[in-house]
Chain A
Amino acid sequence: EADIYQTPRYLVIGTGKKITLECSQTMGHDKMYWYQQDPGMELHLIHYSYGVNSTEKGDLSSESTVSRIRTEHFPLTLESARPSHTSQYLCASSEQGTGANVLTFGAGSRLTVL
């Protein structure tokens, strides 16, 4: 049973549309992350959060934005989608602390922009 949920699983939209990818976790984890997975499978960190009201940009420059108003919720928004945004987006969370930091992933949202 998944403890981290992403919706929608699949989305096909036209250029210029605003989209929000939802991510929710029920584990009470403080840290959350967004990765972008390109067609070649490589994963790139695009956003992360240490907790409520904390958001940081990752390694890969992204035109998306995120918010963290509640511990369990970490949505990603694209104000104006373009074909270059076509990708798989994976949300993950982990517990606070400096141990192994195991990330738990959602099933992903596959975005296609026409």
Chain B
Amino acid sequence: GDSVTQMEGPVTLSEEAFLTINCTYTATGYPSLFWYVQYPGEGLQLLLKATKADDKGSNKGFEATYRKETTSFHLEKGSVQVSDSAVYFCALRRSNSGYALNFGKGTSLLVTP
């Protein structure tokens, strides 16, 4: 079935460092792709999305480009802040099950001052 694989964490970076979290997907067709973020003790929040190949999603300095050739949707940010410390989930929209999302296992990011 459709699935997402993302790099395992935890990832620890210093403030203002460059961030990349890798995400690749396996799917029939070209599903919509998402990044969600989960802060401690909270639910998931949509960070950005892309609905077709070559689309770039962006929000709050984060970016990800839908790459059909490499079946990837890597998350990047040029300069992370302490407030970016959270767990990041890559996800794809399923073609069944009410168009639910399949999530990767999550990558924990810790940004230190």
Contacts and interface: CB of A to CB of B under 8 A. Distances in A.
B99 A42 contact: no
B56 to A, nearest CB: 14
A45 interface: yes
B34 A102 contact: yes
Nearest to A10: B41
B113 interface: no
Nearest to A106: B43
B66 to A, nearest CB: 11
Contacts, number: 65
B43 A107 contact: yes
Size class of A's contact patch?
20 to 34
Contact of B100 (A33, A41, A105): A33
A42 B101 contact: no
Interface string B77-109: 000000000010100010001111111011010
Nearest to B99: A101
7 contacts: A43-B103, A98-B99, A100-B32, A100-B49, A100-B93, A103-B100, A107-B42
Interface of A: 6, 31, 33, 40-43, 45, 48-50, 56, 58-59, 90, 92, 94, 98-108
Given A90-B44, A101-B101, A102-B34, 14 more contacts: A31-B98, A40-B105, A41-B38, A42-B103, A58-B97, A99-B32, A99-B51, A100-B93, A102-B46, A103-B100, A104-B46, A105-B44, A107-B41, A107-B43
